[in-house]
Amino acid sequence: NDLKNHRCYSTTKTMMANLRKTHPLLKIANDALVDLPAPSNISVWWNFGSLLGLCLAAQILTGLFLAMHYTSDIATAFSSVAHICRDVNYGWLIRNMHANGASFFFICIYLHIGRGLYYGSYLYKETWNIGVIL
């Protein structure tokens, strides 16, 4: 609590706030991520965007681990999947996380888009563009 009252803390905080609001690139990120207005009717329906990011990260990580042992040759593809499930440590778990994660990703994206349409979130162009880019 004493740190927040210190003069250097408030000066640094003000400088960083001014920088992110005046620098051209930081201003774009600030408007879309930091100073994003939160609606008064915020509820659990607003969590699906974050869940999409979490699902995407999990899909990338499990996909990379699976790609280390998978072979796409038509003659050995099935045996490489069997190898992943039987011989790789926790390969069965990684494969199931990857398969079920894809389904969960689509559930989250449908709920996220549905929530956005219902609440009219598409009217915020900067936020919508960030979502499309991601």
What letter would DSSP give residue 6? S
Q: Is pLDDT larger for residue 65 or for residue 38?
A: 65
Would you tell me how many other CB atoms lie within 10 Å of the CB of residue 94?
20
Structure tokens at 27: 């201003």
The reported pTM is 0.67
pLDDT tens digits, one per residue of 6-28 = 666 567 778 888 888 888 888 88
- Name the percent of the chain in helix, strand, coil, to the closest 5: 80, 0, 20
- 1 pLDDT above the threshold of 60: no
Question: Which of 59, 16, 32 is closest to 127 using CA atoms?
Answer: 32
pLDDT tens digits, one per residue of 70-83 = 999 999 999 999 99
Assess contact for 47 and 116: CB atoms under 8 A. Answer: no
Give me the domains of the chain, ranges plus CATH numbers: 1-35 (no CATH), 44-133 (1.20.810.10)
